[in-house]
Structure 1
Amino acid sequence: MADLSTKYLGLNLKNPIIVGSSPLTATLDSLKKCEDAGVGAVVLKSIFEEQIEGESDAAVDDSQEYLVHADAYGFMKNSSKERAIDEHLTLLENAKKSLQIPVIASINCRENGSWIEYINRFIACGADAIELNHYIVAADRDVDGSAIEKNYLSLVKAARKKVSIPLSLKMGSSFSSLSNLLLKFDQLSIDGVVLFNRFYSPDIDTKNLSFTSAHMLSSEDEYAQSLRWTALMSEELRYDICASTGIYTGETVVKQLLAGAKAVQLCSALMKHGLTRVSKITAEVSSWMDAHEFTQISDFNGQLAQERIADPSRWERTQYMRTIMGGKKD
């Protein structure tokens, strides 16, 4: 019988399936359902610094008629922020009391600011690890690529100074030299990265000539980018890689593990097909391992990473012409 247990961020997981930050991890009831479905760990729904600021501003706007004193504005704004933060902290505390699997707290932060306070409070409430969720839309033409990378490095450096528990970063892929940046994170002693985040994307409604949002859930063919970068970097980094986006089947999980991922995060597959998909995926992974006579994940983890195959350049080729001409193999 295949043993699917693994380690991610130094945490013991009964299998490599993690439910990523999403509506599936936003309430205690849904978190319990995730555990009952058989996942290895959960990442709590992110606390959004921007959202908390927005909610506190809205609360102040709704109470304008009562703000006759100058001090009232600051009091109302701060109390509203505290309520929002307390809701997240209460969820974390209750999850830690109720669940046996690791609980990872997620913080979506804009700048090197109040998120540090959130981290300290999450740690005090018993989070098993912290996942930073950071994204910058490089839309300012006066800001060059190196400044964007420095922002990420500054974020990780500041967090590492404050966080004694495992620390990971969920990030996108839009960097001029992703491999170089990932190596620099290693120098800052981060414990893991999640490749890659799926961000909100704007769209246009041509019927109503209006702004709208694109479909947020991933499709089954979107795992290729995280697979490539996992394979390219897993053997070069001290820290763990967790693969994300487009992971729907046990076969895709096996691919990510062969490339060197220590775990995978699921969201869209579970949103579309329900939590019963977890047992289907783990059964597929177990069946594959039995067929190849692997007793544990470490027997094959990273076996097809770039440094461990005969032709490492395969992971770097784009092979555009070969693809459109029928996908002939070497």
Structure 2
Amino acid sequence: MKKLGIIALALMLILSLSACAKEQATDTPADGTAEIALITDVGTIDDKSFNQGAWEGVVAYAEEANKTYKYYKPSEKSDDAYLTSIDLAVKAGAKIIVCPGFLFEVPIFNAQDKYPDVRFIILDGNPHAGDWVPVVKDNTLSIFYAEEEAGFLAGYAAVKDGYKNLGFMGGIAVPAVIRFGYGYIQGAEVAAQELGLADGEVKVKYTYVGNFDATPENMAKAAAWYNEGTEVIFACGGAVGNSVMKAAETAKTKVIGVDVDQSAESETVITSSMKNLTKSVYDALKLFYDEKFPGGEIQVLDATVNGVQLPMENSKFEKFSQADYDAVYGKIVNKEFEIVGDQDVEGPKEIETQKVAVEEIN
């Protein structure tokens, strides 16, 4: 009996600690209210990708400014489910709501009218009614990133580090993913020119797998590329990266991560092509509380405002140095390269290259 009592006491202690940890993680009062909210795109706040990067910005600002905050995970990937989560956040006292990803475009279009006194931050998207015509009201801020510059940095660094057989495995061919891929090719081309490589000496396999998931099919495709000689794959598609990392671990090859620093995910990750999600969310929240919220604006955060980057402190390059990175970053800031995006060419093979040979795989 005494032993059972000790076990029961231990269980109560564990449950108590768990409850405290959960409350601390969201920092919501006992009544469940929170004035800063984040709605995930069905994913989790520890997805090592878009949701996590945005959530870390919420946490950083809220903890510093002593604001209550909370996240909501929709029941499914649908406009109705996203709106339901927004409704819940508003009912719980949200003054400003962060929504990471283009999947929120239609829900935010409706929410910005439904809740004119609530502010919305949408990352990588513009509110629209399903017709792709942007309607950004005064209570909404749309934030985009210069993914073509982030991709350029990744391709440039990879070739400078000695890789010549590259891969780009995108998720769904949405504008942000396309821009990452196009920049990757162009960065590789510039690096190859600077190194004096022969025409076509750098090879890039290029595809969109059609999803953002970790699947056996995605892993098999990555494994096949590695078996064919690909040295490093830029995995640009959320959980697609998990499949590529597993394939790389088996093949003892390399991966370039995306959106956030994914170096802790796998020893195979040599660097990550990052959007500065955390800082952009932090800055937008600060503007709101400073009563300077830039509602109605569509912002594109590029290298000039440190909107994109490689995490050099955690990268595993052997030849590409911090000095090399600073030099090429400065050139991007000074617009010394004409980096094309998704609106400039029809496909990856239309990008003008001489040193890089692109193989588009459907």
Q: Does the alignment reach a TM-score above 0.5? A: no
TM-score, with length taken from structure 2: 0.30
TM-score, with length taken from structure 1: 0.32
